[in-house]
């Protein structure tokens, strides 16, 4: 785990194994960003010229290493691109700084300590750099051999005023959020033979014990006794039985309660409606929503938010077998509704439905569910943007604005009422499928049926950004990303402040 420290030392005088500075484009000229003045002086004012000679352009995502000159105690300087320099009086955006720090940290594998001398004009800038560096330094440790280089061990943030309360709080929050995003990444990256519903529930119990959370686990017997037909219908085909986990953080001064519901399909084969080859190799990631929910509840506890946050993890493994649900079967849901299963690969909505009903019984002020729910959302928005649906337009807009603020790409999506009738069934109250076109919206309409009356609700479909199959970029690694955690934590903060 990468450590974070704040330092008042100068960029040239701090002892570290590498020193990270920023460079940017100003017209056709490469310029040195604030924070690197002492380093530029050590280069006799020619740092930008040297970097240009090496081919640096200042573009985002670019990192150039060069030996440090006399006068700089770190042996290596890493110049990371910040894109276009801001106008006079303006600062670099938080996401620019976050990605730049992540880019630098990714390239410092095996390094013990790196000092980051990127532009800091306020505590928010320090938080963004800290988040980016800690996220960029991530590696799935369990998947590495003994000879593998370790991630960057320590991030020293320069110019962050360690005695200033605002900077100290920003750094502590950044550490909590980044480490909880990395918790989500670890869970998503775990092989499905290791992360079953039972082991996921055990991980939630361990996190709860560490951070003072109340954790309750319903096993397959309790689920059967309680009538959770959706979760059981999905999990019945697997030798690894399902679980429903409640993870609760409470604050004595809290006046509002936010419920989070996460889809936790620890492996999704599609069930009897089997996925074809080429579509099932990454389906260990189908529990990313539940992982994000767990991490958010833990982050709320670590930060000490004055809001009650309850997480519901709907955990199952979707497998074909003689005991698996068949297309055409009718499930008796926890809500009392009946659902005809037309496609067993539309299983996420079934486990979420039971969890949404259960969460509604506690009458929270709002419920947000998070799920890698539909391929249709990926087709609509691509693999870096999640969709937002809600039964309240203002709430949907607020979540979209929050996601934009914290640097997560999202887009508001509608819930067209005319699509609801396409889920009508002759043998049940409704089917788990409707028309193919607009399938992501149909899934949202299905979930809405299980939200308690009068409760504000939103649905985040993170099917695209939850798992990154391409080359790493910025602070985003290959594999699990931790998508939606930053948005959910900020949502909890706004709820605590009474803004939502």
Question: CA 226: distance to chain centroid?
Answer: 31
- How buried is residue 117: exposed, middle or buried, by Cβ count under 10 Å (0-12/13-18/19+)? buried
Count other Cβ atoms within 10 Å, centred on residue 45: 11
Of the candidates 256, 275, 384, 420, the residue annotated as catalytic is 275
Let me know if 275 is a catalytic residue.
yes
464-485 as b/e: b if 16+ CB within 10 A: bbbbbeeeebbbbbebbbbbbb
User: Phi and psi dihedrals of 142, rounded to 5?
Assistant: -65, -20
Task: Compute the C-alpha angle 18/52/160, nearest 5°.
Answer: 40
Among the options 106, 113, 263, 349, which is catalytic?
349
Neighbouring CB atoms inside 10 A of 304's CB total 12
Q: DSSP character for 366?
A: E
CA torsion angle 29 35 38 43 (round to 10): -30
What is the H or E stretch that residue 216 is in? strand 214-218
Distance, CA of 433 to CA of 441 (rounded, Å): 11
Give, for 370, the enclosing helix (H) or strand (E): strand 366-371
Q: Which residues are catalytic?
A: 275, 349
């Amino acid at each position: 785990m990468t450590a974070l420290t704040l330092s008042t030392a100068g960029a040239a005088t701090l002892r570290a194994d590498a020193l990270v500075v920023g460079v940017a484009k100003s017209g056709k000229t490469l310029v040195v960003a604030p924070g690197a003045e002492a380093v530029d002086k050590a280069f006799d004012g020619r740092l930008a010229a040297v970097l240009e000679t090496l081919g640096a352009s200042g573009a985002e995502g670019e990192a150039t290493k060069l030996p440090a000159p006399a006068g700089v105690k770190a042996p290596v300087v890493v110049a990371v691109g910040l894109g276009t320099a801001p106008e006079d009086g303006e600062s670099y955006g938080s996401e620019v700084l976050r990605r730049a720090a992540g880019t630098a940290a990714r390239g410092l594998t095996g390094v013990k300590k790196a000092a980051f001398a990127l532009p800091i004009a306020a505590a928010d800038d320090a938080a963004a750099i800290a988040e980016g560096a800690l996220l960029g330094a991530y590696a799935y440790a369990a998947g590495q051999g003994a000879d593998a280089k370790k991630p960057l061990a320590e991030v020293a943030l320069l110019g962050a005023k360690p005695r200033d309360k605002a900077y100290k709080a920003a750094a502590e929050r950044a550490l909590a959020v980044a480490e909880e995003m990395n918790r989500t990444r670890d869970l998503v990256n775990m092989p499905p033979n290791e992360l079953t519903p039972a082991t996921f529930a055990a991980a939630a119990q361990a996190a709860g014990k560490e951070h003072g959370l109340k954790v309750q686990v319903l096993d397959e017997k309790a689920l059967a006794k309680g009538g959770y037909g959706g979760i059981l219908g999905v999990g019945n085909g697997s030798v690894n039985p399902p679980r429903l986990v409640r993870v609760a953080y409470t604050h004595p001064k809290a006046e509002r309660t936010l419920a989070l519901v996460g889809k936790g399909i620890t492996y999704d084969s599609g069930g009897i409606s089997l996925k074809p080859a080429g579509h099932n190799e990454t389906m260990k990631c189908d529990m990313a929503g539940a992982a994000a929910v767990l991490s958010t509840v833990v982050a709320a506890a670590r930060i000490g938010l004055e809001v009650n946050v309850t997480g519901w993890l709907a955990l199952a493994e979707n497998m074909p077998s003689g005991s698996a649900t068949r297309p055409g079967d009718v499930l008796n849901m926890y809500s009392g509704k009946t659902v005809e299963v037309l496609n067993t690969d539309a299983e996420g909505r079934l486990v979420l439905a039971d969890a949404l009903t259960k969460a509604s019984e506690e009458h929270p002020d709002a419920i947000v569910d998070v799920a890698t729910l539909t391929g249709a959302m990926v087709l609509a928005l691509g693999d870096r943007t999640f969709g937002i649906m809600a039964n309240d337009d203002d709430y949907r807009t607020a979540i979209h604005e929050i996601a934009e603020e914290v640097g997560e790409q999202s887009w508001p999506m509608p819930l067209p009422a005319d699509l609801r009738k396409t889920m009508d069934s002759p043998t049940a109250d409704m089917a788990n499928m409707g028309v193919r076109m607009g399938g992501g919206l149909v899934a949202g309409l299905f979930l809405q049926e299980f939200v308690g009356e009068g409760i504000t609700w939103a649905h985040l479909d993170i099917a695209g950004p939850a798992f990154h199959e391409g080359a790493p970029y910025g602070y985003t690694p290959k594999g699990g990303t931790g998508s939606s955690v930053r948005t959910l934590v900020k949502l909890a903060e706004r709820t605590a402040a009474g803004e939502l």
